[in-house]
Amino acid sequence: MRFSTSLAIVALLGLGNLPPSARGAPTGLSERRLPLDALHDLVSRVDIVIPHEDPDPVIEPEPRPAPPPPPPPAAKGPGVVTAPKDVPAPILKIYPPKDVPNPFEVGRYDYAKSVRSTPDPNWGTVTDVSTPNYEGGHLPVDVIAINTDKNSIGIMEAWNKDDAPADTTKKLALADIEMNLFTQAGKTPQDLSLIHVDNVKNTDTRNAITSVYKMNNKPTLNAADITVRASAATGSTELNGFNTLLGTPFGIGADKVRQQFSVGKSITSFKVSNHKDASGNNVAGQFDMDITFA
> 230-282 pLDDT, tens per residue?
999 999 999 999 999 999 999 999 999 999 999 999 999 999 999 998 888 88
Give, as one character, the DSSP assignment of residue 226: E
Asked if 64 and 41 touch (Cβ cutoff 8 Å), the reply is no
pLDDT of residue 108: 95
Task: Tally Cβ neighbours within 10 Å of residue 201.
Answer: 13
Lowest mean pLDDT among 25-34, 111-120, 122-131, 171-180: 25-34
pLDDT of residue 284: 86
Confidence of residue 116 (pLDDT cuts 50, 70, 90): very high
Asked if 215 and 241 touch (Cβ cutoff 8 Å), the reply is yes
Q: Give dist(CA 284, CA 294) in Å, integer.
A: 31
Task: Tally Cβ neighbours within 10 Å of residue 90.
Answer: 15
Angle of CA points 121, 187, 143, to nearest 5°? 45
pLDDT of residue 7: 42
Q: Which helix (H) or strand (E) is 183 found in, with range? A: helix 174-184
199: pLDDT strictly greater than 90? yes
91: pLDDT strictly greater than 70? yes
Distance between first and last Cα of the chain:
98
Q: Give dist(CA 171, CA 228) in Å, integer.
A: 33
Give 267's Cβ-side CA count (13 Å radius). 27
Confidence of residue 164 (pLDDT cuts 50, 70, 90): very high
110: pLDDT strictly greater than 60? yes
Q: Is 161 strand, coil or helix? A: helix
Confidence of residue 72 (pLDDT cuts 50, 70, 90): low
pLDDT of residue 11: 44
Q: Is 272 strand, coil or helix? A: strand
Q: Indicate the average pLDDT of the chain.
A: 84
pLDDT of residue 38: 55
Q: Give dist(CA 193, CA 291) in Å, integer.
A: 8
* Closest C-alpha to 251, from 233, 222, 234, 228: 228
Q: Give dist(CA 2, CA 56) in Å, integer.
A: 13
Confidence of residue 85 (pLDDT cuts 50, 70, 90): confident
Q: Give dist(CA 268, CA 196) in Å, integer.
A: 14
212: pLDDT strictly greater than 60? yes
Which residue spans within 163-216 are E strands per DSSP? Answer: 194-197
22: pLDDT strictly greater than 80? no
* Closest C-alpha to 252, from 241, 265, 243: 243
Q: Is the dihedral of CA 170, 175, 180, 181 positive or negative?
A: positive
Confidence of residue 220 (pLDDT cuts 50, 70, 90): confident
Q: Are strands 152-158 and 142-147 parallel, antiparallel or unpaired?
A: antiparallel
pLDDT of residue 13: 42
275 CA to centre of own chain = 27
Confidence of residue 209 (pLDDT cuts 50, 70, 90): very high
Residue 69 CB contacts under 8 Å (≥ 6 apart), including other chains: none
Q: Give dist(CA 246, CA 87) in Å, integer.
A: 11
Q: Most confidently modeled of 3-17, 221-235, 262-276?
A: 262-276
